[in-house]
């Protein structure tokens, strides 16, 4: 996943020092504790004007409200979020931060843009310029689906929720459940189209369906394995996320080839039916990536850029998922005809 703000935040929520040293599996498991609480907050600012991309540091502070008795270390937090590669003239930029392992209740969360540095190009390379010293209080942000825009919101209190659910409905331009829903829809549409095409050519559909289902299962395994190999040495996502389309295609192709051989199916007919079906599924599935913030494109001030999010940083971006979806739809139509 690429784009502005791909670096991790330096977080100091109280009580998380041990988790900072834990491995990724321990950190992921800790979020699923029955009593684990978290919150998510979005802040927005204008990208401004300038000669080139710049970096920013946002200092986020939280304080639990209505505390009865002495305050504990889990009643406050302070963290720094590093946002890189902000494009001047690209319009509003948003930051969605998530904090876990805090006490349950209502919280007041504020943020300041504490430092920004413009990048100057020297000898063809982008290098940081002199760092700014001013601080600017940021507004909370909220998303409008009707206007397709993020806008400032009032400083209302934020209620904690169970940590695994933190942020599901908080990041701008992210539609919870769209990834699984649209990928499932893409698989179903692909199967329907494939079966219709082979049936129209007089091929029995039952063995083709079995082979296709095996291909989907093998593709899911390949997608996860490809992701794990690609992320070797880096932190990995949990089991519910983190898939690579390259691995899916490799696994599905292998399983389909074995199925065609095992059932004695006509190779040319099956491939002619599979090609448009596969790209139809990709066209629909990539829409799920867009609405989930997966595989987000680079920030851009181009007129063709679309405001979208990578679940952390929202900005106008090159709509890579939409472009790939469109390309897959065209290929599917051409292969079908």
Q: Report helix, strand or coil for 286.
A: helix
Query: In the prediction, which pLDDT does 235 show?
Result: 53
**Closest CA relative to residue 55, chosen from 114, 123, 142:** 114
* pLDDT-flagged residues of the chain (< 70): 1-34, 115-134, 167, 169, 233-241
Spell out the residues 6+ positions from residue 176 whose beta carbon is closer than 8 angstroms to its own: 168, 169
Q: Quickly list H helices, the chain.
A: 17-21, 24-31, 178-200, 205-230, 245-263, 267-292, 320-336
The string of pLDDT tens digits covering residues 301-324 is: 999 999 999 999 999 999 999 999
Query: In the prediction, which pLDDT does 8 show?
Result: 45
Tell the burial category of 240 from Cβ atoms under 10 Å away from its Cβ (0-12, 13-18, 19+): exposed
Query: In the prediction, which pLDDT does 14 show?
Result: 46
The string of pLDDT tens digits covering residues 60-106 is: 999 999 999 999 999 999 999 999 999 999 999 999 999 999 999 99
Whole-prediction pTM: 0.81
């Amino acid at each position: 996943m690429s784009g502005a703000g791909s670096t991790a935040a330096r977080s100091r929520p109280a009580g998380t020092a041990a988790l900072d040293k834990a491995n990724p599996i321990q950190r992921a498991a800790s979020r699923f504790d029955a009593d684990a609480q978290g919150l998510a907050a979005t802040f927005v600012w204008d990208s401004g004007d300038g000669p080139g991309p710049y970096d920013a540091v946002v200092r986020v502070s939280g304080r639990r409200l209505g505390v009865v008795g002495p305050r504990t270390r889990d009643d406050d937090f302070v963290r720094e979020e590093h946002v890189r590669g902000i494009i001047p003239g690209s319009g509003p930029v948003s930051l969605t931060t998530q904090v876990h392992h805090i006490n349950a209740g209502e919280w007041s969360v504020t943020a300041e843009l504490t430092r920004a540095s413009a990048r100057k190009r020297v000898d063809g390379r982008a290098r940081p310029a002199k760092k700014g010293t001013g601080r600017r209080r940021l507004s909370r942000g909220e998303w409008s689906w009707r206007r397709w825009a993020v806008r400032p919101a009032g400083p209302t209190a934020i209620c904690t929720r169970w940590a695994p659910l933190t942020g599901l409905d908080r990041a701008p331009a992210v539609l919870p459940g769209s990834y699984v829903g649209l990928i499932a829809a893409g698989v179903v549409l692909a199967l329907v189209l494939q079966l219709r095409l082979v049936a129209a050519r007089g091929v029995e559909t039952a063995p083709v369906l079995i082979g296709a289902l095996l291909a989907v299962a093998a593709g899911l395994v390949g997608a996860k394995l490809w992701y794990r190999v690609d992320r070797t040495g880096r932190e990995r996502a949990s089991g519910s996320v983190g898939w690579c389309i390259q691995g899916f295609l490799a696994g599905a192709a292998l399983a389909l080839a074995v199925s065609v051989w095992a059932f004695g199916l006509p190779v040319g007919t099956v491939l002619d039916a599979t090609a448009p079906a596969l790209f139809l599924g990709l066209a629909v599935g990539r829409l799920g990536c867009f609405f989930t913030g997966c595989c987000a494109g680079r920030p851009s001030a181009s007129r063709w850029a679309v405001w979208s999010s990578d679940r952390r940083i929202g900005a106008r971006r090159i709509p890579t998922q939409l472009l790939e979806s469109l390309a897959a739809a065209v290929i599917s139509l051409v292969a079908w005809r």
